[in-house]
Chain A
Amino acid sequence: MTSVAERTGQSQVQPPPPGAVRRTSDWVRRAPLLPALVFMIVVTQLPFVATLVISFMDWNAYYPDEVGFAGVDNFRRVFTDINMRDAVVTTILLTAGVVLISLVLGLGVALLLDRKFRGRGAVRTMMIAPFLVVPVAAALLWKHALYNPEYGLFNGALTRVWGWFGSDSPPQPDWISNAPLWSVIFALVWQWTPFMMLILLAGLQGRPLDVIEAARIDGASNWQIFRSMTLPHLRQYLELGALLGSIYIVQNFDAVFTITSGGLGTANLPYTIYQIFYQAHDYGRASAAAVVVVVGTMIIATFALRTVSSLFKEDTGR
């Protein structure tokens, strides 16, 4: 290896030893990186290659004798499958809904917590709690203890409030059946608002306070300061929150699986693929769906990565 490097070094660059030295020192530098890199390639990239291969195969675990080459059949079935198309729409609605609502709420709460007041630490601690409940436990909690139409807390509270006004017939909506997707979205918003709040609060606290004070002395209103100073400063934190939130919520399985079991138009892509694979045992079709999702994600991720990399350049530039 070294000798080859040395020879090529000799033919291209005039002084041979520096080239060779640089190459060896390159490998010394790379060595600590290699275990992690190799591990990631083996565990995350090889399976995708396998998925790609299986996606062109006719393979259903219920018919083990009929395994063979399927060409693009699986892909045709994925693209013509109405469930898949619905799953794409559901995934987009779910992700965008949760990210946008929790960003706006998180911004509001972060602004409230940016002031000094009695019990600020306590309120911050209370706000973080939802994020620290295990997602499955949170989904079960919302489904059974809050949304349940007979004895959930929401309808219980309605009964109590209506009772105060002397009414015996409070509204008792069946939350999950009436608004299945919103039920999932709200349970997730409850968990993700603290996350957005934490990132935005850290952003707010990194604001240059002297400039804001100067603006206030010059007679700028709170709204003007928010619009033209706070918001631009928060932009990169908003982007960071939106990006990281999207990465996690696009993949959400726990809430959909638990709250609605993917029924009533809430099956997102992870849940749908899980179902094709786990219940229909149609390996070929599940893989084709996975490949389509991966390609779609790659297109979106390219834009997302561009955002991070611009943030990242600002960061290293500082």
Chain B
Amino acid sequence: MSTLTPAVPRKKERGGVWLTLLAWVVGVLFVLPVVWMVLTSFHSEADAATNPPAVFAPLTLEGYREFFSGGASPWPPLLNSLTASVVSTALVLLLAFPAAYALSIKPVRKWTDVLFFFLSTKMLPIVAGLLPLYLFAQNAGLLDNIWLLIVFYTAMNLPIAVWMMRSFLSEVPAEMLEAAAMDGAGLTKTLRSVIAPVVTPGIAATALICFIFSWNELLFARVLTATVAETAPVFLTSFVTSQGLFLAQLCAAAFVISLPVLVAGFSAQDKLVQGLSLGSVK
């Protein structure tokens, strides 16, 4: 084989430069709106709303200053989003791990049916359950309460998490589990020394996806929260309608609110793929 390989790349090289160029052009086109958002966020309002665009206008922090201290403070919504995302992600992991265990390591009978039940809940339109949940929250006095969102975000992400964790847990080699059992290792010991090393990256991927989906969610948050438990995406929509259009400030707001997701996603690109494909792409 090794003697033949040189012939193959040479054939490929012919259009190589153009394909590389094309890849770069496509990549730049896709990232351009994001770059434009960041650039505009550092422009003054006057430079942001020009036609043709003032690309090389002087940079300023005006937009960020206005966003953080101009009108309503963005900190409570950002903290609400952080609370809802982190707590619901923790709850999802707590519920999903044992469930996935019962669907892979020591599977219950008809475990595929259970797995598909979880997935089917993901296909039902969220909006169809919105009204009864709203009425329930209203009667229970839970409207505008961050805990209500936490419960819904947990339910929203649990099916994905169960699917992902099951796929990661089923990678634990059966021989290793048998060996551990023969050595007389208890459940805790098996979990810690056999299962944990294999599935820890998978748990990280699951957590990343759950965090991103909770952080992004708009519909539930919009209907079920008001001034107290408002999350960052809701704040962003009200921000535009109440203050008119300030492009630099809007871009600053959009960038700040996207920043946690951008940082988390970029730092764990491979986990992102695993997570999005419910663990089926390794």
Contact = CB atoms under 8 A, between A and B. Distances in A.
Interface of A: 26, 29-33, 35-37, 39-40, 43-48, 50-51, 54, 108-109, 112-113, 115, 117-120, 122-138, 140-142, 144-146, 150-151, 153, 155-157, 159-160, 163, 190, 193-195, 198-199, 201-203, 210, 213, 216-217, 237, 240, 244, 247, 250-251, 253-254, 257-258, 269-270, 273-274, 277-278, 283, 286-287, 290-291, 293-294, 297-298, 301, 304-305, 308-309, 311-312, 315
Nearest to B276: A195
Contact of A244 (B23, B118, B278): B278
A316 B258 CA distance: 37
A142 B33 contact: yes
Given A36-B95, A36-B96, A293-B127, A135 B51 contact: no
Interface string B101-126: 11100111100101011111111111
Interface of B: 1, 4-5, 7-8, 11-12, 16, 19-20, 22-24, 26-28, 30-31, 33-34, 36-37, 40, 48-53, 95-96, 98-99, 101-103, 106-109, 112, 114, 116-136, 151-152, 154-155, 158-159, 162, 212, 215-216, 218-219, 223, 232-233, 236-237, 240, 245, 247, 250-251, 253-255, 257-258, 261-262, 265-266, 269, 272-273, 276-278, 280-282
Contacts of A269: 125, 127
Given A134-B215, A198-B273, A151 B125 contact: no
B20 to A, nearest CB: 4
Contact of B107 (A29, A120, A123, A278): A29
A198 B272 contact: yes
Contact of A202 (B159, B253, B277): B277
A130 B132 CA distance: 34
Contact of A125 (B96, B232, B266): B266
Given A133-B261, A301-B123, A47 B129 contact: yes
Contact of A199 (B236, B266, B269, B281): B281
B127 A290 contact: yes
A184 B255 CA distance: 20
B127 A270 contact: yes
Main secondary structure on chain A at its contact with chain B?
helix
B135 to A, nearest CB: 8
Interface centre among B8, B28, B108, B116 (most CB of A within 10 A): B108
B218 A253 contact: yes
A269 B132 CA distance: 18
Contacts, number: 316
A46 B152 CA distance: 13
Contacts of B128: 48, 51, 273, 290-291, 293-294
A298 B124 CA distance: 7
**Nearest 8 interchain pairs by C-beta:** A32-B98, A50-B132, A290-B128, A137-B254, A36-B99, A47-B129, A123-B27, A33-B102
Contacts of A315: 280
A251 B30 contact: no
19 contacts: A33-B99, A37-B99, A120-B23, A123-B23, A128-B266, A129-B31, A132-B262, A134-B233, A151-B50, A199-B276, A217-B7, A240-B277, A253-B218, A254-B233, A269-B127, A274-B223, A283-B135, A286-B131, A309-B112
Given A198-B272, A270-B125, A287-B131, A126 B155 contact: no
B273 A199 contact: yes
Most buried by B among A29, A195, A203: A29
